[in-house]
Structure 1
Amino acid sequence: MSAIADVARRAGVAKATASRALSGRGYVSEETRSKVIAAAAQIGYVASPNAASLVTGRTQSVGVIIPFISRWFFAEVLESLEQALLARGYDMTLYNLPTHSAERERVFDFFLARKRFDGVISVGVELSDTEVAQLHRMGRPLVGIGGETPGAHTVAIDDIATARLATEHLLTLGHTDIRHVGGDQAHQMDFAVHTKRLTGFTEAMRTAGLPTDNGFSACAFTVPGGYEAGLALLADPHQRPTAVFAASDEIAVGLIIAARELGLHLPDDLSVIGIDGHPYAEMFQLTTIEQHPRNQATLTVDTLLTELENTPTTTTTHLVTRAPTNLVTRSSTSPPR
């Protein structure tokens, strides 16, 4: 069986350099890394993960817990997490984490405890203090995406500020009769995303001196949800607003479809803005606040691997890195007629 010494000799580098190039730990120039990888491929060398683990104490594996894998935001994050981890030489094990239940307890009590992960990434899951403490006891550094998690470093947009910005865009255009269509307050996503986006809307309206009574309609965070809410909100021409802030791009797309079905023209009869940066946004010429889930994923991987290199595995850092968002203006919004 080929050994690391054979790879080093063929690549014309020291054994330590060849090891760094193949493991992804420590600095190696891209030119040298390419030479070492090519040499390893030529002689069929494959590093033993078990041997590397014995030497370094690392498994080069990360556990990822996530509530959904089919919804757009989560699918974008998941794909980018995998790409970023693979590029850094790490494997990924995925756990589709249910709400608080016996199945969720088994993930923490059995699977995460049995598997030897170097760290854990939590995507859109509001972990309890007990669950965070359990990960720390197992020596698992934790980085989250989607909201603040006490005892962990998290990457998240500011949902209140983002919703406020979306509403302020409509206000700046001159709209005063604005409604918010968002998630049901009685059935929250983790980290109270529905409430935070309603709060941002309410703050912007009150700052502008405008009423917020009857300014909110609840629906599912889906295109059909937005469509149903749109039909109900826009059907009566005497009660119809001039603008709508939708809590997600999918809701906004559903609203646009409903508006067209009712004979309305955007943006002459109605302005609509969403949040996300979904591919549908460009297709429907939707003005939106982009939140870049792929960038959030890459930043999360960088954060986790930095913690692995620079801090003890029992870190209890409580730090939030705010992921940037940006307004993209398209033809779904304009000043009111």
Structure 2
Amino acid sequence: MGAGIDDVALRAGVSTATVSRALRGLPRVSPETRARVLAAARDLGYVASPSASGLATGRTRTVGVMVPYVDRWYFGHAIEGIDQVLRENGYNLLLFSLGGYSPGRRRSFTESMVRKQIDALLVLTLWLSDEELLQLQRTDIPLMAVGGPVDGCAGVHIDDTAAAAAAVEHLIGLGHRHIGYLHGAAQDEHNFKVPGLRSVAFRNTMVRAGLELRPEWLVPGDFTIADGARAAARIFDLPGDKPTALFCGSDEMALGAMFEAQRRGIRIPQELSVVGIDDHEFSEPAGLTTVAQKPVEQGRAAAAMVLAELNGSPAAVQETIMPFELVVRSTTAPPPKRPA
């Protein structure tokens, strides 16, 4: 039976945690201690990573990226930004896709990541339980969130509360008083914070303006074009008054709402204004007013920070709020006059 990490720790006269840090090349290990650990590991024939060549540097030169989906606009663009920086610095990307959210399903990604010996982990807008976060922190590797706040680790993201408020305030500033909202589904708001932050911002902005919140105009979607169309249809099918404007929690839902309105002959913006968040690549051709963010740049910033920490800058990983911009196009205008 080959030597284990305990044997290396005993030979080097350090803890197993120090052995782990030394072999991974992480900061806060003195050069003398690192040399002693490497020598002990070499003498005992202990290899921590899947590749024996990684022992010399203690690195796999691989960064893990954990996502709930790979087929959504934000996640795909953030991954692209991360991958750009990793490739520029000779690192590989290892993707951990959870395949969506399955209530009650236990996630075993932490064990997999430890076995594969990644050097750092980026988590994309994903809720982590206390147990999962503790397991990840015990791996003693740089950990960072991208796209939204995750309790227990620093992140790179926009201020979603301010971004959603800017979208709603734009509609109110145009004179809209009857505003509907297409928001994330229940499982979205449970599993990551961004949808909930946008929902709270919508409600608070409406209340501050003294406007009525109509529950039947607040409809869940799933951040997709198809679900945006279905959610909008539920509002359009309601009897009585209809909203003169829709705030959508993502551009994809906003585009779906626009398609459904067009199908029914509802003119945008003459009869209905629509605003989203993201600045999806289809938004400019569609003329969609939106709150623009840049997920590629968020991914690049996060990747650069974890690589800096791996290269010996212990305070490199920092909570970072990225800019957003209200981009006014042709889908928003003052509301039509209602009969007295």
Amino acid of the structure 2 residue aligned with 1:117? I
Report if aligned partners of 2:125, 2:193 keep a CA contact under 8 Å in 1. no
Q: Give the C-alpha shift of residue 124 in structure 1.
A: 2.1
CA–CA distance in 2 between the matches of 1:190 and 1:236? 30
Quick check: 117-126 or 189-198, which moved more?
A: 189-198
* CA-CA distance at 1:324 after TM superposition: 1.6
Instruction: Report the AA paired with residue 302 of structure 1.
Output: A
* Structure 2 residue aligned with 1:68: 69
Equivalent position amino acid for 2:195 in 1: H
Going from structure 1 to structure 2, the CA distance change for 1:101 and 1:241 (only over 3 Å counts) comes to closer
Aligned-residue offset at 1:248: 0.9
- 8 Å CA contact 1:235, 1:262 repeated in 2: no
Give 1:103 deviation, angstroms.
6.4
Task: Tell me how far apart the structure 2 counterparts of residues 141 and 190 of structure 1 sit (CA, whole Å).
Answer: 22
Q: 1:316 to 1:135 in 2, by over 3 A?
A: farther
Task: Tell me, yes or no, if structure 1 residue 188 matches structure 2 residue 189.
Answer: yes
- One-letter identity of the residue aligned with 1:70: D
The answer to whether 1:104 aligns with 2:103 is no
How far off is 1:311 after superposition? 4.5
Q: 1:305-316 alignment to 2 at 5 Å?
A: 305-311=307-313
Name the structure 2 match of 1:239.
241
Please give the secondary structure, in 2, of the residue aligned with 1:89: coil
2:24 matched residue in structure 1: none
Contact 1:222–1:251 at 8 Å: present in 2 too? yes
In the alignment, the residues of structure 2 paired with residue 278 and residue 296 of structure 1 have an alpha-carbon distance, to the nearest angstrom, of: 15
CA contact (8 A) 1:146 1:191 kept: no
Distance, in Å, in 1 between the alignment partners of 2:187 and 2:152 is 27
Other-structure match for 1:218 = 220
| Equivalent of 2:297 in 292, 295, 302 | 295
- Give 1:303's aligned amino acid: M
Query: Is 1:185–1:194's contact at 8 Å kept on the other side of the alignment?
Result: no
- Deviations 1:196-242 (Å, cap 9, x if unpaired)? 21111111111111111324122232112111222232246841111
CA distance in 1, matches of 2:203, 2:77: 29
- Structure 1 segment 158-169 matched on structure 2, within 5 A: 158-169=159-170
Residues 191 and 57 from structure 1, CA distance in 2 versus in 1: closer, same or farther, beyond 3 angstroms? same
Is the deviation greater in 148-157 or in 251-260?
A: 148-157
Output the CA distance in 2 between the equivalents of 1:335 and 1:102.
Answer: 47
Report how many residues are paired: 284
| Runs of 4 or more consecutive aligned structure 1 residues displaced over 6 Å after TM superposition | 100-103
1:126 and 1:147 in contact (8 A); partners too: no
SS in 1 for 2:186: coil
Partner of 1:92: 93
| Corresponding residue number in structure 1 for 2:132 | 131
Alignment correspondent of 2:319: 320
Contact 2:149–2:194 (Cα < 8 Å) also in 1: no
Which whole-Å deviations, capped at 9, do the CAs of 1:278-321 have from their partners, x for residues lacking one?
Answer: 11211211000112111110011111112223455xx897x531
Larger CA deviation: 131-140 vs 256-265: 131-140
Q: Is 1:69–1:96's contact at 8 Å kept on the other side of the alignment?
A: yes
- The TM-score, its normalising length taken from structure 1, stands at 0.77
- CA distance in 2 between counterparts of 1:270 and 1:102 reads 41
Q: Deviations over 1:49-88 (max 9, x none)?
A: 9687333322221111111111111111122221221011
| Kept after mapping to 2: 8 A contact 1:126/1:190 | yes
Helix, strand or coil at the partner of 1:104 = coil
Q: Give the Cα–Cα distance (whole angstroms) in 1 for the partners of residues 124 and 65 of structure 2.
A: 7
Kept in 1, the 8 Å contact 2:180–2:214? The answer is no
Note if 1:141 corresponds to 2:149.
no
Contact 1:136 1:316 in 2 (8 A): no
Give the Cα separation in 1 of the matches to 2:165 and 2:260.
25
CA 1:84–1:316 in structure 2 vs 1: closer, same or farther (change >3 Å)?
closer
Deviation at 1:245, TM superposition (A): 0.4
Q: Distance in 2 between matches of 1:102 and 1:226?
A: 27
3-state DSSP class of the match of 1:56?
Answer: coil
Seen in structure 2, the aligned counterparts of structure 1 residues 303 and 67 have a Cα distance that, compared at 3 Å, is: same
**Aligned 8 A contact 2:182 2:220 in 1:** yes
- Cα separation, 2, equivalents of 1:159 and 1:189: 16
- One-letter code of the match for 1:58? R
Q: Give the whole-Å Cα distance in 2 for the aligned partners of 1:54 and 1:247.
A: 47
What is the CA distance between 1:151 and its match in structure 2? 3.4
The one-letter code of the counterpart of 2:330 is: S
Q: Give the TM-score of the pair, scaled to structure 2.
A: 0.76
